[in-house]
Amino acid sequence: MNLLNQKNIIALVSIIVVAGVGTYFYQQSCDQKEQTAKTALYQVQKTFESESATLTEAEKASGSKLDVDAKFPKTVAELNQLLSSNTNPERIQFEAALKLGTIYLEYSKDDSLNKAIEALKKVSNFGTTKFQKATAFFLLGTAQERANLAKDAADSFQKALNQDDEGLKGEVLLSLVRVNLKANNPTQAKTFSEKLNKEEPGSRAAQEAQKLISKT
């Protein structure tokens, strides 16, 4: 079962927004292009909320799979427009790529995740902190794992681990255990499980990793 479900994705992205764009968005700046980009990003969120409001209760339910391009056409168009600009600040590009990638990741079926993967590959290019880059690679790995691209997912999760961000380390190590088992590499999976148990003994992630290893 994939650990990063729809609620977890929303929670993770919310942390990033609260930590960054919430204060960044409203700061004063003399740069008109930057202000225009911030306004456009804010408009994207309003558009997404408006289009989300048209979903049925069944479509709003956690785990629902939708045609993202059909259900959120304006949101997708506005985000792609932001990403096509070479003049926007990296922070704006990061938020736009993250938003687009997570929308596809949240709602796309496992066999239709190519657009999520494409968008999430761009996120790490714009991240400037360890947490941003770790999050970008972690979400990319999650999309690749769901698309049954275990080796690609393992590579992305390893890049997330290399950022040495303590906040995500446990989940990243658990993901590395899981995808290495899927890639028929139990020895490497066991190594990551042991590392997780050493660094976070007794944690939920460590216990889940041990359960996975015990089944091999």
Which of the two residues, 86 and 49, has the higher pLDDT score? 49
169 vs 155: CA distance, rounded Å: 15
The per-residue pLDDT for range 153-192, each reduced to its tens digit, is 999 999 999 999 888 999 999 999 999 999 999 999 999 9
pTM value? 0.81
In contact, 98 and 118? CB cutoff 8 Å: no
The per-residue pLDDT for range 107-162, each reduced to its tens digit, is 988 888 999 999 999 888 888 888 899 999 999 999 999 999 999 999 999 999 99
All domains of the chain in start order, with CATH:
1-128 (no CATH), 130-216 (1.25.40.10)
CA-based nearest residue to 42, from 115, 105, 99, 108: 99
**Which amino acid is located at 128 in the chain?**
T
**Mean pLDDT lowest among 8-12, 62-66, 204-208:** 8-12
| pLDDT above 70 coverage of the chain, percent | 86
* Exposure of 13 in the CB half-sphere (CA atoms within 13 A): 23
Under DSSP, the state recorded for 5 is: -
Residue 206 confidence (pLDDT): 96
